[in-house]
């Protein structure tokens, strides 16, 4: 108690010795510090509200689409890549894709830099592409819960929409030369969370 009284007396003595100008400057600094503190608190509160709103919208999208899927063999990007054709030439090959049991997969087949086939494969299902003999590269887009409004990057489409909202990952294989053959892919999700393909991205796949 004595120490407190001593400090109080010292502060009182110092303030009593202030000139009017010093006192005015001190009060201005104190008021400025209060305003800055209030502004920082307000900014922090706005950031917290924004983060909560983003979290709310993310959760809303998740709840809305997490169980959404497409029909087996659907071609959701046909407006850009066209539909799948049946091979009717003299030399034909096939690419068969066995999808993983715990994820849907959207497969694209490229010839050079152009997507010529694509199909949606539901988890645990398979799909077979028919192709004229030639050199092709397959890409695999895995995930759960399809949001039809999700914007996707693409080298050939200005507006490509529709993608997964959870556990999405891209994979690919090297270009393969096919000549009257059947190439089969059995896709398996590994313990590390990666699929048994080389890493890729949407700009490569689409």
Structure tokens that stand for 110 in this block: 């490229």
Reference 168, options 148, 142, 189, 188; nearest CA is 142
Bigger pLDDT: 2 vs 160: 160
Q: Give dist(CA 201, CA 80) in Å, integer.
A: 18
Domain contains 71: no
Strand bridging mode 182-186 / 92-98: parallel
- Mean residue pLDDT across the chain: 87
* Domain boundary residue, one of 65, 98, 118: 65
Q: Is the dihedral of CA 118, 206, 111, 197 positive or negative?
A: negative
pLDDT recorded at residue 32: 82
On the CB side of 48, CA atoms within 13 Å amount to: 6
* Domain boundary residue, one of 65, 93, 108: 65
What torsion do the CA atoms of 21, 25, 31, 34 make, to the nearest 10 degrees? -150
pLDDT recorded at residue 148: 97
Domain contains 49: yes
Q: Do 140 and 105 meet the contact criterion of CB atoms below 8 Å apart?
A: yes
Share of the chain above pLDDT 90, in %: 63
- Residue keyed to tokens 């192709």: 131
pLDDT recorded at residue 113: 92
pLDDT recorded at residue 16: 55
The verdict on 33 and 91 lying in the same domain is no
The verdict on 56 and 84 lying in the same domain is no
Report residue 191's pLDDT band, with 50, 70 and 90 as the boundaries.
Answer: low
pLDDT recorded at residue 14: 47
pTM of the model: 0.77
For 7-63, write each residue's pLDDT tens digit. Answer: 444 454 444 567 877 777 887 787 887 887 878 888 888 888 888 889 998 899 999
pLDDT recorded at residue 193: 45
For 55-94, write each residue's pLDDT tens digit. Answer: 998 899 999 999 999 999 999 999 999 999 999 888 999 9
CATH number at residue 98: 2.60.40.10
Which residue range forms the structural domain that includes residue 113? 78-205
pLDDT at 163 over 80: yes
The verdict on 83 and 17 lying in the same domain is no
């Amino acid at each position: 108690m004595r120490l407190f009284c001593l400090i109080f007396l010292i502060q009182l003595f110092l303030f009593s010795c202030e000139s009017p100008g010093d006192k005015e400057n001190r009060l201005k600094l104190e008021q400025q510090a209060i305003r800055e503190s209030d502004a920082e608190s307000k900014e922090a509160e706005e950031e917290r509200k924004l983060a909560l709103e983003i979290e709310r919208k993310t959760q809303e999208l998740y709840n809305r689409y997490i169980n959404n899927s497409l029909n087996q063999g659907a071609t959701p990007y046909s407006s850009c890549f066209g539909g799948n054709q049946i091979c009717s030439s003299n030399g034909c090959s096939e690419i068969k894709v066995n999808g993983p049991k715990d994820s849907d997969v959207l497969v694209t087949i490229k010839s050079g830099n152009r997507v010529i086939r694509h199909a949606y494969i539901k988890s645990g299902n398979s799909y077979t592409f028919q192709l004229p003999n030639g050199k092709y590269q397959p890409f695999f887009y895995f995930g759960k819960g399809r949001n039809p409004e999700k914007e996707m990057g693409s080298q050939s489409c200005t507006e490509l929409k529709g993608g997964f909202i959870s556990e999405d990952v891209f994979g690919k294989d090297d270009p393969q030369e096919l000549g009257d053959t059947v190439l089969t892919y059995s896709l398996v999700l590994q313990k590390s969370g990666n699929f048994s393909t080389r890493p890729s991205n949407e700009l490569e796949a689409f």
